[in-house]
Structure 1
Amino acid sequence: MTAPSSNASSSKSPVAITEAFRAHHLDLFETHGATPQGLGWRNQETTDLRYEKMLAVIPAPLSKQSVTLLDVGCGFGGLYTYAKTHRPDLNLHYTGIDLCAPMIDHARQLLADDSVCLEVSSLFDYQPGEAFDFVVCNGILTQKLTTTIPAMDAYAQALVSRMFELARVGVAFNCMSSKVDYTEDHLYYRHPLDFLGFCFNTLSPDVRLDHSYPLYEYTIYVYHGKQG
């Protein structure tokens, strides 16, 4: 992820953390446009790998069925574009929310011919009419900007808990691994077992951890019940 500008907030307020994320990603998008760098990622290859891991939340028995998915921090809808190209087997009813209005505007133009729902909103403010089968969050919890670790821990737990409330089947999210050669101050590193333990003890015992792909991060999957 790209380092934040110097005006990012260090406040412990969830509202201030959300606003710092919005300002940071708005700056990235204005600088780099609809590219991986505009999302804070290095290149298309690693971006696509993250999309693949998000879609892996959908168990094989459900992959042929019609499913609804909420993409939290959707950017310009890259996950949906990836799914259309690389996972044509999925019958995906896609909703994306993002803090940055220009990203949502671009996504609406890009996906104008698709039956998708795109809204400018934070997850904490978002009030959908009904739950989704799956809720994913790709990237938000890999960064902290200038937020303190305790404040970011509380924010992350609240975000994942809200995701789980809105999911009928399961959720997926990624975080930077603590198993790294070096760290960068603006990124959010957590030991995978710490985060897995929170999910296991607080949300559901039906959890899965993927720390096996070639990035310095991991993806956690949490389900409302066992998946075949």
Structure 2
Amino acid sequence: MLFEQHGDSPASVQHVSRSAQNIRFKIFQKYIKPQSSIVDLGCGLADFLVFLRQQGLTGEYLGCDFVPEFIFNNLTKFKQDMTCDFQKLDLINDEYPKGYDYLVMSGIFNNQLNCNEQFLYQTIEKAFHVANKGVIFNALSSYVEYQDDALFYVDPLQVFSHIKTHISPYVLLKHDYITKENGFPYEFTIVVNKEGELP
């Protein structure tokens, strides 16, 4: 298991570096108000919570993951934070927590499974159903020059169209960012809201 090898580090949750991880978090944060409450599905070691607290987020945070070691580590690490909690959760079989503004997912769709597209769409739909305001997630784009056989790449336009047609008309697709200097935009982020915004 990666956590046994790497401990409390980005490598345990398959992030290449802290800086790349924070770029993804910064994009998520752009669409979240400081007082918002958040469920972090596939929270790993709760690095997103650390980032949000550093950026001034004051709302409640609930981290969910199916790896017990992550949950135990987080409960110990963040025991002084009275506005956060953690729980073990199976994304496929369990109900998602209700009463939170946003459900966010970073990196949980990247690994190859037997039913990747079904898992992606069902997870987004379940999360959107219980969210008060919306859902934010990222995934690996099919618009790349190289694909790793162990990873899942998906057409962002297909995902956008499915969500726009079947889940919510209020969808934002961001596919112009890089995670390192002179890098390539190999992933995308989608924001799915319950209401539209005036400019």
| TM-score, L = length of structure 2 | 0.90
Q: Per-residue deviation at 1:97?
A: 0.4
SS of the equivalent of 2:37 reads strand
Segments of structure 1 that go 5 or more residues without pairing to the other structure are 1-26
| Aligned: 1:177 with 2:141 | yes
| TM-score, L = length of structure 1 | 0.79
- Asked if 1 retains the 8 angstrom alpha-carbon contact of 2:40 and 2:105, the reply is yes
Q: What pairs with 1:44-83 in structure 2 (closer than 5 Å)?
A: 44-58=18-32, 63-64=33-34, 66-83=35-52
Considering fraction of residues, name the structure with more helix. 1
| Among 117, 121, 145, the residue aligned to 2:85 | 117
Q: Give distance in 2, aligned partners of 1:96 and 1:118.
A: 5
RCO higher in structure (CA 8 A, sep ≥6): 1
| Among 103, 114, 120, the residue aligned to 1:135 | 103
In percent, how many aligned pairs have the same letter?
A: 27
1:50 to 1:33, Cα distance in 2 relative to 1, 3 A: same
- The one-letter code of the counterpart of 1:141 is F
Q: Per-residue deviation at 1:156?
A: 0.9
| Among 53, 70, 83, the residue aligned to 1:84 | 53
Q: Deviations over 1:173-205 (max 9, x none)?
A: 111011111000111101110011111001111
Q: Give distance in 2, aligned partners of 1:127 and 1:160.
A: 11
Q: Aligned residue for 2:189?
A: 219
Segments of structure 2 that go 5 or more residues without pairing to the other structure are 180-185
- Asked if 1 retains the 8 angstrom alpha-carbon contact of 2:96 and 2:130, the reply is no
- The one-letter code of the counterpart of 2:40 is D
Q: Per-residue deviation at 1:41?
A: 0.9
- The one-letter code of the counterpart of 1:57 is Y
Q: Per-residue deviation at 1:212?
A: 1.1
**Size of the alignment, in residue pairs?**
190
| Among 80, 92, 100, the residue aligned to 2:67 | 100
Q: Aligned residue for 1:126?
A: 95
Q: Give distance in 1, aligned partners of 2:3 and 2:74.
A: 12
| Among 117, 120, 125, the residue aligned to 1:153 | 117
- Asked if 1 retains the 8 angstrom alpha-carbon contact of 2:42 and 2:66, the reply is yes
